[in-house]
């Protein structure tokens, strides 16, 4: 198993540009999550999904969109990038919610200038 994979590893965007951060898991997990981590801070939940076709907002959803058309993939879309979205983005997945650990990807480091 590759686990949770994220692409790209690094990206520099100009203000106002858009991009999609890709996340794929091969563990047949139902739950998937997107977090962001600003320097020196803990992770904050952006969006999550409890299964294909079902998504919901986390703590900091503004400026982002997600979709979950398959069990494996959970892309995060940034529209009109802003400097405040400069962060490291982590995708995670788990089989179920209670009693199961989350597996994290290696992260995408995004800079918006």
Buried b (16+ CB within 10 A) or exposed e, 28-40: ebbbbbbbbeeee
Contact flag: residue 56 with other proteins (CB under 8 A): yes
Member of 11, 58, 63, 77 binding other proteins (CB under 8 A): 58
33/64 with CB nearer other proteins: 33
Q: Which helix (H) or strand (E) segment is 46 a member of? A: strand 43-51
Contact flag: residue 103 with other proteins (CB under 8 A): yes
Contact flag: residue 26 with other proteins (CB under 8 A): no
Residue 103 has a CB neighbour count (10 Å cut-off) of: 16
Do 83 and 32 meet the contact criterion of CB atoms below 8 Å apart? no
Binding site for other proteins (CB under 8 A): 4, 31, 33, 35, 41-45, 48, 50, 56, 58-59, 88, 90, 92, 94, 96-107, 109
């Amino acid at each position: 198993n590759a686990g949770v994979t994220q692409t790209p590893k690094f990206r520099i965007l100009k203000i106002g540009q858009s991009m999609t951060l890709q996340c794929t898991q091969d563990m047949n997990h139902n739950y998937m999550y997107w977090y962001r981590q600003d320097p020196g801070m803990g992770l904050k939940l952006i969006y999550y999904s409890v299964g294909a076709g079902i998504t919901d907002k986390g703590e900091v959803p503004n400026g982002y969109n997600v979709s979950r058309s398959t069990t494996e993939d959970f892309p995060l879309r940034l529209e009109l990038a802003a400097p405040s979205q400069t962060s490291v983005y982590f995708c995670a997945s788990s089989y179920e919610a209670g009693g199961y650990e989350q597996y994290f990807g290696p992260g995408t480091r995004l800079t918006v200038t």
